[in-house]
Chain A
Amino acid sequence: MDRALILRAVDLSKTYSVGKIHVPVLNKINLELERGDLAAIQGPSGSGKTTLLNMLGGLDTPTSGEVWIERLNIALMKERELSRIRCRKIGFVFQFYNLIPNMSALYNVELPMIFAGTSKHKRRQKALSLLKTVGLADKLSNCPHELSAGEQQRIAVARALANDPALVLMDEPTGNLDKENTTNIISLIRELNNARAQTFVLTTHDPMITECAQKKLTLHHGKITQGFKDA
């Protein structure tokens, strides 16, 4: 069964409340992704792309609705079980990279594997090969503040891939990259997507990324629609 369901959102809603004002950001979103899908989500700034990814990745709890990762509804999960899912099933690239300051690039990439309990040797090997893949093998002992924004972003991509997650969520992964590095990241994503059938969900404004996505989605006024509209 190759085309297994990896991610399913059912009537997913999120309303932020600031004082007495309730801001509905996501409104009954339905979404299905299968193993090996590569989905790009587009939408104007403030449309809720980051909010949606946070819900899908178990970083935030929806106001209502369900999020299924494989056969588990993470919307109902306790923090304890959730941390296991985040560790084993999901790789996350944050919009603002969120590397740990004062830890080397290498250590940042190793970190998810530490939480997964990977042995030191395996961890090191894997981190080195990931850093090589993102073209930063020569910067492995640099701390985040000694790296450019684009380099930090690539480290964040390497970190997201560390535990070979079934689902990789990337929030504007090429937002700070030049053409060459964007191409590198895209070919890396495609390669992983093809070879290992990892599922990717990317939010982006970059036509280079949206071009290669099989599923193109647009988020607008809290609803998701197939295909891209002009923002």
Chain B
Amino acid sequence: MLDVLSIAIRNLSRRALRNALTVSGLAIFVLIFILVSSLTTTMQRSLEESVSDLGGEIMVWDESAFVPFLSTIPEDYTRTMQNISNVRNVVPQITGVSRIDSEDLRLTIGINPAYIHRLYTYTMIEGVMINNNDSSAAVGVLFADFLGKHVDQNITINDWELTVSGIYRTDTWIDNAVIVPFLIAQEIFSLEERTSVIILTVSDPVEIDMVISAIKKELPNVGVYKSQEAADRLAPLIDSITWISLALFAIAGIACFFGITNVVMTSVFERTREIGIMKALGAKGTDIVKIITYESAALGLFGGVLGCSISILLLGSGLLIPITSTTSIRIPVHPDIFLYGLGFSMAISILASLYPVWKAVRVRPNEVLRFG
């Protein structure tokens, strides 16, 4: 078997340029495969992450309070939750109902300013979102219109006086609320060391149920809820990314397939005479099959290894893809993908040689030996 392999290698070295071109073609296929699949997994991940950042994925509150507004739980539950694996962000949030200026039963949200952009999407109509723990407040656009509030004016919550830093729009119910720093909210609503709810985001959406049961185990007397609707809404987008990348592989793979069939076919035709001689010298059909299959498998292997090496260089040197205008992320490299790339490269080469092999096995010695 190894001897037949050595014949295959001899043959390959004979058409060095042509085989080098074939190998490069395969390498490009492998490169496309690795880059596109790393890219799509990265995009899917970051999409899922951004979604989970937006709405939070798990909400923890005191169930006996009937509604989250009335719930209060100890703030240091956050520390317990932080230690659960796969938990990314743990954000305590106060939702308080109180008198704001002259209006009764208005909603105030108290949240650490650093986390606002992770839990809510908003646009500023006027001024800026609260960005420190000073006595400032951002007012929802509907409520601001109702009260006729503008930036730098004062607003009174439960007799606390705050300055309006800006007016936001979310197109959700919180356009009727006011957002203040968490620490201020604790004082306004007399919730020292306590919070209304805790919102968690999970690093891997698949792990969400694990995280929920871990929280329930650690903190048996709280209610734990999943809010995944946003992620579900993204599913079709993620699906179409997957399909597009699959179509890309299929096209590149088919192109490679025909390219290699062509190359192997040509080399079989060129060697018809040689194959005839080998048969006359006692080569079995399986010997011929092996010689040609090993050749294509070797092409596939070299192409795969080359493609993997180039992509390791590219990805390893820190290829970044921009996610937004200000942030880029590095494409993470999963070792599996290289094995797949190598496997595909070899599979395509071997499949592509099936027809040429069939042709070669049918060569009759008497047809080629007559002439010099």
Contacts and interface: CB of A to CB of B under 8 A. Distances in A.
Nearest to B7: A114
Contacts of B281: 86-87, 92, 111-112, 115, 159
B287 interface: yes
B284 interface: yes
Contact of A115 (B282, B365, B371): B282
A184 to B, nearest CB: 23
A120 interface: yes
Q: How large is the interface on B (under 10, 10 to 19, 20 to 34, 35 or more residues)?
A: 20 to 34
A83 B285 contact: yes
Contacts of A115: 278, 281-284, 287
Interface residues of A, number: 32
A178 to B, nearest CB: 19
Interface stretch (A93-101, A128-136, A204-212, A222-230): A93-101
A50 B284 contact: no
Contact of B284 (A84, A94, A97): A84
A54 B366 contact: yes
Contacts, number: 70
B236 interface: no
A116 B283 CA distance: 8
Nearest to B13: A102
A114 B364 CA distance: 20
Main secondary structure of the interface of B (DSSP, over half): helix
B369 interface: yes
A95 B371 CA distance: 8
A84 B281 CA distance: 10
B3 A83 contact: no
A86 B282 contact: yes
B274 interface: yes
A83 B284 contact: yes
A188 interface: no
A194 B60 CA distance: 101
Contacts of B285: 79-80, 83
Contacts of B7: 114
B369 A112 contact: no
Interface string B280-311: 11111101000000000000000000000000
B280 A92 contact: yes
Contacts of B279: 83, 86
A101 B274 contact: yes
Given A79-B285, A80-B284, A83-B284, A111 B369 contact: no
Contacts of A95: 372
Contacts of B3: 114, 120
Contacts of A107: 10
Contacts of A87: 281-284
A163 B364 CA distance: 22
Interface in A58-113: 59-60, 79-80, 83-84, 86-88, 92, 94-103, 107, 111-112
A59 B366 contact: yes
A98 B278 contact: no
Given A54-B366, A114-B3, A83 B277 contact: no
A112 B282 contact: yes
Contacts of B273: 98
Nearest to B362: A79
Interface string B78-113: 000000000000000000000000000000000000
Contacts of B369: 54, 59, 94, 96, 98
B217 interface: no
Q: Which of A59, A60, A159 has the most CB atoms of chain B within a 10 A radius of its CB? A: A59
Interface string B349-372: 000000000000000111001111
Nearest to A149: B372
Given A96-B371, A98-B369, A114 B280 contact: no
A59 B365 contact: yes
B70 interface: no
Contacts of B282: 83-84, 86-88, 112, 115-116, 163
Nearest to A104: B10
B14 interface: yes
A80 to B, nearest CB: 7
A59 B287 contact: no
A107 B281 CA distance: 13
A103 B283 CA distance: 16
A111 B274 CA distance: 12
Nearest to B277: A98
A111 to B, nearest CB: 6
B215 interface: no
19 contacts: A50-B370, A83-B283, A84-B284, A86-B279, A87-B281, A94-B277, A94-B280, A95-B372, A96-B369, A96-B372, A98-B273, A98-B277, A98-B369, A99-B277, A100-B274, A101-B274, A112-B282, A114-B3, A159-B281
Given A94-B280, A159-B281, 4 more contacts: A114-B4, A115-B281, A115-B283, A116-B282
Closest CB pairs A-B (n = 3): A87-B282, A96-B372, A60-B366
Interface of B: 3-4, 7, 10, 14, 273-274, 277-285, 287, 364-366, 369-372
